[in-house]
Each structure stands twice: as structure tokens, then as C-alpha cells.
Structure 1
Amino acid sequence: MRLHHGVRLAVVLGLLATGVACSGGDGSGGDGKVQLTVLSHYGSDPAKAGLDKMIAQWNQENPDVQVKSEVVKFDDLLTTLTVRQTGGRGADIVSAYGLWGGQLQKANVVAKVPDDVAQKIKASYSPAALGAVTTGDTLLGYPTELNTYALFYNKKILAAAGVTKPPATWAELADTAKKVAKRDAKGNVQVEGLSLIQDGDNKSAHPFLSLLDAAGGSFLGEDGTAQFAGEQGKAALGLEADLAGAKATDPSIMPTKQFRSGGVAMAIQAGWWVGSLKTQMAGKYSDVGVAPIPGPAAGSKGSLAYGFFMGVNQRSKHPDEAWKFLTWLNEHQGSAGVTGMGEYLAGMGLIPPRTADAATLKKSLDDPNLVPIYDAAEYAMPEPNLAGAYEAKTALHNAIMTVLADGKSPDEALTQAAKAVKPQ
């Protein structure tokens, strides 16, 4: 699911004052039934309808353990999780962005996953999904949403420039981007070669990290120290700087707006974009191609995987029932050998994180553009979620923007950003 620009921590006072989405009481009804609450950002369809349907099925089959869904906007989710926890009003089950894992763990929001549940999860989910919801050696919960990054391109624009297949190396990527880029007599961009900025989470960080992964680099070490300022990072940002200098990329252009109208030839973007482009472009969606993000050498490729998870609140008064529901939610069978959660996620254009679900669904994909997105789950760099990872990504984003927008030296920008990263 699309990630937004940031979390508005300024709403803390408002949440405290109004008690947004508070669940009161001890979680037990007067008739002895257990009442569980699930807090998520699934407030609009198809996400809301799909989750509500599964909860209704559980409630019908389990009259003594009833589950209620509570929803806040994504931009308010982290703040709500932490504020409600401080006030002792946290939901029994929480859905959260993997990047926040270390922060939520430090704030004692998420409970330890029971050993038997953890064993099942570790045996059943893809490496990228597990990595995105594991902090250090600690699994945070069931992986749910999973997105990987890939190279989206407009077949018609590339073909008009004599390019018959997507770039397979950085040299080809740069050459193609420069070849297809167009500006009018006044210098206004008509076609951007390669988009490197997103109107999503921390804008430029995810495309850079995908290129970094393709070069064999990493974002943060296991201790939270910056690893992105090494030779691979400097090479990746050097590639971006070269494209910016050649006016083949422009940080003011948002691909989510201009790609569909032919104003962007290529973009490094997350897999959820497939569903959006199908809706926005209708018949012109046939012009869209998706390929792995290339690395410096032929055969090298990379991606970033980010995920969400569902875990149990450390303060839940009914942890056993919460884990029982959460296990059912993620493991009950739907149709055609795929879990209900797998069907739910695939229906929204997301990669089911359970390996067996993804393998089964991949055999019947009706859109070849989804294949490289599914494949990337096996090799993508999981977004780290140590405490301080969010701040580290913000520092990285700021460094990248000084290069793309202001022409700063990539080496200098990354070195300064690395010094700003403080392991917690």
C-alpha cells in the first residue's frame, strides 16, 4: 500500500485531548465474552471491506471472542499507537509499518511472538517479508503488506527512441534516460527520462536504496550505523547526479502524476503502482512495462522491500485470544489453496508475503508486469526497522535532495548524512 510523506507528530496533543478511537474497559463484556480490538489504517475500500469481511467470519465462528476493527489515517497511525499506549488505551492487535518496529519495540507496544507462532512464521514467509518485520533478532508479528520496487517504463516512448528492451545495466539505464528525455525551447520538461523522486515515503530514499542494493550495498548495519556512504552508495548517487546534470531526471516531477500522461519514460516505483496505473491509464496500460532494477554490471539487480505487520499489544489483557485470532486471520484457507489473507492482499495488487501463497498466485498472474515485482521478494533488501531507522532515512533523503536539486557532491552529501545517523 502506498506510503505517505511522513507522520504528523503534531497531532499528539489533539489525540490526547479527543481520545481518538479509544477502546475502554477491560476487554470483556458483561456476558463473559472477550472483546478484542484491531487498530489499522485500513479505512477505505477495498482494504476496509476485505478486512471487515474476514473479521465478520471470525466473529460468526467464534461467539465467545469477538473482534472489533478501529481505523485511523496512515499519517496518524504511529502517533496513535504511541499515544494510546502511554495512556493505557492501546488496541489488543496493532497493524504497523515495519520501519517503525524498533521504535514500537522500544516503547513496549508490541509483545513477544510466542515461540510456536514464530516458528511457523519463519518457516512460511519470504526472506524479504521476514526481514522487513524483524528488528535485530526479534520478530514483531505476522508479515502482512509487502511491496518491492521495480523499474516501470513506457514501452512506446522507449521504442520511439529505438530502445526495444528495458535497460539491464546502469550504463544502459543512463543512456536510455538521456536518449528519451525531452524539453521544449524554454527548457520545460516534456518527457523525463528517469524519475528518481516519489510523492510517497521520504520521497527519494526508496529508489536510491534499490539502486544501492543492485550495487551490493546496504543501508544500515545491524547496530544501526550508516552503511550507505561506502563506494556502492557513492556510485549509486553518482549515477543519479549524472542524470540530474544531464537534465534526464528532474526532482520537481512526480511520476504518479506525469507517467500516465506520457511525461515520464521510466520510474523506480513500488509494486502497488500497478493497480493505480491500470485504473488511471485504462486502455493505455498496455504501454507499461516492468523490469528488475539493474545494477552496474549485466545480471546484477536490486530492490527495496518494505512491509507491514500485525502484532499483539504488550498490554493486551487477552494475549492468548489475540494470538489465536491473529493466527487464524493469517493462516485460514481461502480458495484455490491460498490463505484468506493472501487473497485479500493479492486483490489489492500487493505481494502475499507467505511463500506458498505467492508461488500459487504467481502461476495464474494475468499481468506479466507483476512477475518481476513478485520475483523481487526473493532478493530485495528488506528495509531496516531498528530504533532510529526512520530518522536515518530522513537524513538520507535530505542528502539525496541536495544532490539532485542543488548539485551538491554525492560523496560529500552521503558523508555528511552518515555522520548524522545516530544508532539508538
Structure 2
Amino acid sequence: MFNGVKSWWLSFGRVLSSKAKRFCALALAVLLLSWAVSCGTGSSQQASGRAEVEFWTMQLQPQFTDYFNNLIAAFESENPEVKIRWVDVPWSAMESKILAAVSAKTAPDVVNLNPNFASLLAGRNAWLYLDSKVSSEVRESYLPNIWKASMFDGKTFGIPWYLTARISIYNSKLFEQAGVAKPPQTYAELAQVAKQVKEKTGKYAFFVSFVPEDSSEVLASLVQMGTKLVDESGKAAFNSAEGKAAFQYWVDLYKNKLLPQEVLTQGHRRAVELYQAGEVALLNSGPQFFKTIEKNAPDIASVSLPAPEITGQTNKKSVAVMNLVIPQNSDQPENALKFALFVTNNANQLQFAKEANVLPSTVAGLKDEFFTKATKDAAAVDKARVVSAGQLKNAEVLVPAMKNVNQLQKFIYENLQAAMLGEKPVDQAISDAAKSWDSL
């Protein structure tokens, strides 16, 4: 739930067919949304003479029911004229539900989303822009790189909430068998480790999915290797020396059989399965995954250790952001913003981050000892939390919020796959991807 990677865990063919259906449904919903946003405002809701603010979260019940009930009670005590109505929506249903709600003018007043999906609707003027409504003092209480994640065309459409930062989890026993002294920190080091692990153990160093619908990890790796995805006008910028080098990196690993063949058809779930089976030496995931390993594969958990996320020459690290947005047709915009800032203020963020074992997006929260110190005999998940928190100074949302970002990923992945399979040379693959993007 918190590792920032959304996987459908289907075969490539089934994913393509399901995505086609989903695209049609989303296209229809977006058309309805565009019409609805241009017409009227939502109906006013009152609760016993008090203004009602409807608040949607994403799959936080029942684990955090007590936390939110207490949070809401505290806000209502400070603001007796406001009533909060909390609705928790399953992760898989949120996109379709919010599209339908906004298009039907029944949207909630505060919504928990991620910047990538929220930016799709920001481009259609669905959210309240906040730059003139949030003081510079309040804005500066949040991590600056994280605040930028909820901006579209230079305008702020969301308030940062909780974060997850991907780290490397590695099998120290496999590394020892392969004679690898320390986990790789860069992609250049990873290529050498991949060769060494394969030669010494017959296993793979790692698994990363090239399925367009599964994960943006490969797309983010291009940015970490110095590739600029799009220019200021939105045109393709990845057909560059850096982009070609990044394409060639993945092509070489695949052709040299240092990646499992199924990286072209399987998603992140397969990476998890292979790591827990001891067939892969390294996994990119969130710190919370240590608990999953302990439950599913205790023998692997006993030899698993955390390390910083692998990066390129830019030293950029990735972060997944959850934010709060306010529909522009909310009839309670002032109360909605007041509540969103209350949910995400430093004290409340810090409490939630500790309960959920995620990271806060506030400057002060990240300085808490919970995120900066771990004893030598601390549990692996606690050490991993400190590693992930320590990366945030160089962390950002590597794939920027932009219109049609899913199409950008699709064009790059499909052409990169063609190069990996020898169907196209790298120069043609990257050129074709750029042409496809620019033709949108």
C-alpha cells in the first residue's frame, strides 16, 4: 500500500486488453469531467446547521480508523462550525470514483490522491489552485522538492501529505557467495554486480519491469542517468546522448542475459516473488517490505539488509508522494483548505508517519529522531526507515506531473523493449519513441 508502486500483476497480453477497456472508460469520464467543470458548482451540504466537508482517503481503513477519528474530533473541536464526513475508498477504485464524482458535480471537498493522477485533472482545471491561498510561511514548512510535485504549469494544485522513498533491499548471503563486498549505489556498479552474481551463483542480481502499465521505475532510471524527458514546450527531449546511453544500458543488460527474460512481460509482483524465493539478490522497494519478507520468507528476511536506492550520475533519488487536493467546484473551499492544512501540519503528519511507518513531507517532521537514528541492534525495518529518510534531501518525483504521462511511458517502454529484443537499433527505438510523443 505504501511502497509507491502500483502493479496489476497480469501477463502482458491481458494487461494490454484490460488497459484498452480502461482507457475507453477513462476517456469517457474525462469528457464528462471537462463538461462538468465548465458548468455550475456543486450543491451545498450542511449538517445540523454546520458546514460539512467531505473528506476522501485512499485505503486507510481499518488500520488507521482510530487515528482519523481522533484527528477529525480534534479539528471539529477547534472549528465547531464545521463537520467532517470521512469516506475511505479502495485504492483500485479511487481513480474511477473521483472521475465520476467530479463529472457528476458530487465531488468531495478534500481528496487524497497522488500527484501523477491528480495532474491529469489539474490539466482540465478540476482542482482549486492554492498559490494565492497558502502563505509563504506555511508553504515553506513543507519540503520544497515535495511541494513542487503538486504543481502543474507553475501553479500549485495540492498540499503534500505522506511520502515513501524507495530503497534497495539486498540478500547479504547471495552477495557474499558472489564475492560482492557492498551493495551497488549506481547503475554502473549495478551492471558489474549483475555480472558477478550471475557468474558466481547462477542467479540474477535484480528484476525491474518493462511492462508499460506496471511501474515507472525504468522511466525514473532514465532521469537518474541524466536524461531530460521533455523540454519546456512539452516536446520530447530524451532523444539525446544521455537518453541513448540509458537505452543502451538496459539493452546491454538484457542481451547479456543479466536480466530475467520475463522482465518484458511480468510486473513488480514477480520481482517480489523472485526475491523472496532467493532467486534475485536485490529488490527496489519501500522499507515496509521488510515486514512482508519476514512473514512470507523468514529465511530470506534473516539475511536481508537495507541500502540506499540505486541512482545514476545525477545522484537523484525517487520519492512517491500522496497529497490532498480540493475540487474547484467545492462549496466549502475555505473550510476544505483549513482541514487539508490541519491534516498535513507538522504535528499531525509526524503522528501519522510514525503510525504508518511512512515519511512526513514537513521539514521539521523529518528531523525527528524516529527518522534519523536507529540503534545497531534495531530491526531491519527501522534501519530501512532511517536509510529512506536520509535520501529525501536528494529526492524528488522524477517523472514530472504532465498531461499524457502514461502515454510517454508507453512509447518509451515499447520502443525500449523492441531494442532489447533486437527488433530495432537503439537510435531508431529512441527516435521512434520521440516521434510518437511529439505526434500527440
TM-score by length of 1: 0.83
Corresponding letter in the other structure for 1:246: N
1:321 equivalent in structure 2: 335
Alignment of 1:180-195 (within 5 A): 180-181=197-198, 191-195=203-207
Q: Is the 8 A contact 2:131 2:156 kept in 1?
A: no
2:363 equivalent in structure 1: 355
1:249 has 2:266 as partner: no
> Which one of the candidate residues 387, 392, 397 is aligned to 1:372?
387
Distance 1:402 1:346 in 2: 44
Deviations 1:253-272 (A, max 9, x none): 62122212212112333555
Distance 1:220 1:278 in 2: 41
1:401 equivalent in structure 2: 417
Q: Is the 8 A contact 1:225 1:422 kept in 2?
A: yes
Q: Is the 8 A contact 2:61 2:88 kept in 1?
A: no
1:196 has 2:196 as partner: no
Distance 1:422 1:87 in 2: 33
Distance 2:254 2:423 in 1: 8
> Which one of the candidate residues 292, 311, 316 is aligned to 1:302?
316
Deviation at 1:40, TM superposition (A): 2.7
Counterparts in 2 of 1:221 and 1:272: CA distance versus 1, 3 Å: farther
Counting strand residues as a fraction of each chain, which structure ranks higher?
A: 1
Deviations 1:338-370 (A, max 9, x none): 622233134333221112111213224452223
Q: Is the 8 A contact 2:5 2:215 kept in 1?
A: no
Q: Is the 8 A contact 1:312 1:319 kept in 2?
A: yes
Q: Is the 8 A contact 1:118 1:139 kept in 2?
A: no
Corresponding letter in the other structure for 1:155: S
Deviations 1:132-166 (A, max 9, x none): 21213111221113233333321111111111111
> Which one of the candidate residues 229, 236, 260 is aligned to 1:226?
236
Distance 1:276 1:405 in 2: 34
Distance 2:69 2:5 in 1: 22
Counterparts in 2 of 1:296 and 1:94: CA distance versus 1, 3 Å: closer
Counterparts in 2 of 1:212 and 1:273: CA distance versus 1, 3 Å: farther
1:99 equivalent in structure 2: 116
Q: State which drifts further: 306-315 or 373-382.
A: 373-382
Q: Is the 8 A contact 1:101 1:134 kept in 2?
A: no
1:165 has 2:182 as partner: yes
Deviation at 1:204, TM superposition (A): 4.8
Counterparts in 2 of 1:222 and 1:76: CA distance versus 1, 3 Å: farther
Deviations 1:279-315 (A, max 9, x none): 4444643422333344566xx6332333221021111
2:12 equivalent in structure 1: none
1:216 equivalent in structure 2: 226
1:111 equivalent in structure 2: 128
Per the alignment, in what secondary structure is the counterpart of residue 195 of structure 1? coil
> Which one of the candidate residues 257, 261, 275 is aligned to 1:259?
275
Distance 2:106 2:193 in 1: 54
Counterparts in 2 of 1:11 and 1:421: CA distance versus 1, 3 Å: closer
Deviations 1:178-212 (A, max 9, x none): 2213799xxxxx7322212188x833532342x32
1:4 equivalent in structure 2: 6
Distance 1:68 1:386 in 2: 31
Alignment of 1:18-33 (within 5 A): 26-29=44-47, 31-33=48-50
Structure 2 residue ranges without an equivalent (≥5): 9-18, 33-41
Q: Is the 8 A contact 1:152 1:288 kept in 2?
A: yes
Counterparts in 2 of 1:286 and 1:207: CA distance versus 1, 3 Å: farther
Distance 1:408 1:349 in 2: 44
Counterparts in 2 of 1:286 and 1:370: CA distance versus 1, 3 Å: farther
Per the alignment, in what secondary structure is the counterpart of residue 183 of structure 2? coil
Per the alignment, in what secondary structure is the counterpart of residue 146 of structure 1? strand
Backbone CA RMSD of aligned residues: 3.2
Deviations 1:225-274 (A, max 9, x none): 22333222222222222221122212156212221221211233355544
Q: How many residues align?
A: 401
Corresponding letter in the other structure for 2:317: S
Q: Is the 8 A contact 1:182 1:192 kept in 2?
A: no
Q: Is the 8 A contact 1:133 1:385 kept in 2?
A: yes
Per the alignment, in what secondary structure is the counterpart of residue 193 of structure 1? coil
Q: State which drifts further: 40-49 or 156-165.
A: 40-49
Counterparts in 2 of 1:182 and 1:255: CA distance versus 1, 3 Å: farther
Q: Is the 8 A contact 1:11 1:76 kept in 2?
A: no
Q: State which drifts further: 71-80 or 309-318.
A: 71-80
Counterparts in 2 of 1:64 and 1:146: CA distance versus 1, 3 Å: same
Deviations 1:365-398 (A, max 9, x none): 4522233322332223423112222322232233
Corresponding letter in the other structure for 1:220: V
Distance 1:43 1:406 in 2: 45
